Amino acid sequence: MTAYLIEWLSLLGRWVHLITGIAWIGSSFYFVWLDNHLQTPASPQLRQGGVGGELWAVHGGGFYNAHKYQLAPAQLPPKLHWFYWEAYSTFLSGLFLLALMYYFQADLYLIDNNVAALSKPIAVLIGVSYLAGGWLVYDGLCRTRLAQRGLLLAIILTVLLSVAAWSLCQLFSGRGAFLQFGAMLGTIMVANVFFIIIPGQREMVRAKQDGREPDPQAAKRAKLRSVHNTYFTLPVLFTMLSNHYAMVFGARYNWLVLIALCLSGALIRAWFVMRHKAADRGGKTPFWPAATGLALLAAVIVWLSPAHTRQAAGPASPQQAFTQAREIIQTRCASCHAAHPTQPGIAEAPKGVMLETTEQILKQTTQMQQQLASHAMPIGNLTAMTERERKQLLQWIADGTPH
């Protein structure tokens, strides 16, 4: 019953997380696009009124005229629309899922004794420490003079995040490390909103209400963090999806895969941001960020492609080979992949894959090969599959699944 309730909580949590994430990312992408498409107002009255840029758009059968003030309007309107609940709701729902799936069930999804023999409390403590520590280090760097040197700050952050990715993959299961890394980036993003962007905006509003000139530095700090958030977006989305793809998190050097694909996403996003401002460069956009990002992606795809090599011949007869393979599967896999799983914490066969009958086993050999080769299954190696058994199953599949 507990596993069944966890499944429902996971489903509902993911649903909310997806909805709020779409709202947050959608509004973030829109405002980045809007900022980079603003043009100097043609009307002298608008310029004199403090408007620094405007944009005309048509959508949904209506015309829109957006204005952005250099700092603030001469008089605040009676009602201002704020954008922050999308970020907070995404973070809270994501934290709920992280706690439910990876902390509460750390022995299932976070800990892999073949990587590091951690107790459940220690694993959770390490995970939480990365969430908090990632923000503290990032925020500390952004408060130094490095904030004035964007490229240098970006290089330092890339190096530090790469170290974090590597270290997480030395501590947790591949699945858990990728999700924990994405959660760390997501925490940085929402902390930017909570601690920097929204307080800066509130200070600008208070300044106008008090009759003071708003501090332009508050706007600059908020802008910097907003730009960082948009570059983090694609890496975070990748890590959210990664737990469904053992070929990436289960790779031998999974930390390199994580770094390469996150860097690829950031570079591709950077190209889109540059493309928004193509008008400032005569309609031209440097292609190197996108080309580098796509090259990294292609390199990972080629690197992770399955090897088409055969090993030494297996058992003498097909019947003997299948009998041994089936025994391993029943012992190490069927406790989860069954109509009625016996593994604690598993309510239904993962992805509906069952391995109880001959027909079911033969139908799933392609998926089994990927999961076994990447060490993604058995999950957390809870059933203690040996390397000899793993190689024997892979050899049986490579031999054409004789039976």
Is 388 buried (19+), middle (13-18) or exposed (0-12) by CB count in 10 A? Answer: exposed
Dist CA 167 CA 127 (whole Å): 11
CA angle at 207 for the pair 201 and 211, rounded to the nearest 5°: 150
Count how many Cα atoms sit within 13 Å of the Cα of residue 384 in the half-sphere of its side chain: 0
The number of beta carbons lying within 10 Å of the beta carbon of residue 361 is: 22
H-helix or E-strand containing 198?
A: helix 198-209
Dist CA 53 CA 324 (whole Å): 72
Domain positions in the chain: 2-35+84-303, 37-70, 318-398
Question: Residues 69-86, buried b or exposed e (16+ Cβ, 10 A)?
Answer: eeeeeeeeeeeeeebeeb
- Each of the 403 residues of the chain gets a pLDDT tens digit; together they read 677 898 899 999 999 999 999 999 999 999 999 999 999 999 999 999 999 999 999 999 999 999 999 988 989 999 999 999 999 999 999 999 999 999 999 988 999 988 999 999 999 999 999 999 999 999 999 999 999 999 999 999 999 999 999 999 999 999 999 999 999 999 999 999 999 999 999 999 999 899 888 888 888 899 899 999 999 999 999 999 999 888 899 898 999 999 999 999 999 999 999 998 887 788 889 999 999 999 999 999 999 987 643 444 445 577 888 888 898 999 899 999 999 888 887 888 888 899 999 899 999 988 888 888 888 888 878 788 888 888 888 989 988 888 8
Q: Look up residue 161 and give its two tokens.
A: 């995040």
Question: Residues 128-149, buried b or exposed e (16+ Cβ, 10 A)?
Answer: eebbeebbeebeeebeeebeee
